[in-house]
Amino acid sequence: MDIIYSIKKEAKRKKITISEIADKLGMSQESLSQMLKPNSIKFSVVRKIAQILNVGIDDLLGEQQASIQHNVHSPNSPQLTGDGNNEINYNTTAETIVENYKNSQKIIKKMQEQVDGLIEINRQLTEKLLK
């Protein structure tokens, strides 16, 4: 499943039309439709579409994540292009996104463990003070 298909599928699931997405992006429906047809889309647009659809970029990557993580590259995979003239290799970008997501989840887990530890210390101190 490619990212363009995922965007269309998620939009349909959320009952948001391509026209509504285009409006929120500040472009015409025709411009967005043309951008989606050749399977070439700017990464910044994918990020904004993910925000509009209230999903993570990893949700739009879907099954491609597994392929990317196993270094499998389909010749039909879309290329994400960066802002300006710089082209971003889709696989590198997707791998980076997946890696950043995993790292952020690890950080969140560590922070939660620290908060839980502080709550326990607070509980113990409160018990001692109340005795």
Over residues 1-28, the pLDDT tens digits come to 477 888 888 999 999 998 999 999 999 9
**CB-based contact 56:94 (threshold 8 Å):** no
- Average pLDDT of the chain is 76
> CATH 1.10.287: does it fit domain 3-100?
no
Between CA 84 and CA 66 the distance in angstroms is 29
Name the residue with higher pLDDT: 109 or 67: 109
Q: Are 67 and 74 in contact (CB under 8 A)?
A: yes
Q: Where are the domains of the chain?
A: 3-100
pLDDT tens-digit series, residues 22-77: 999 999 988 888 887 755 677 788 888 989 999 988 787 764 444 444 333 444 44
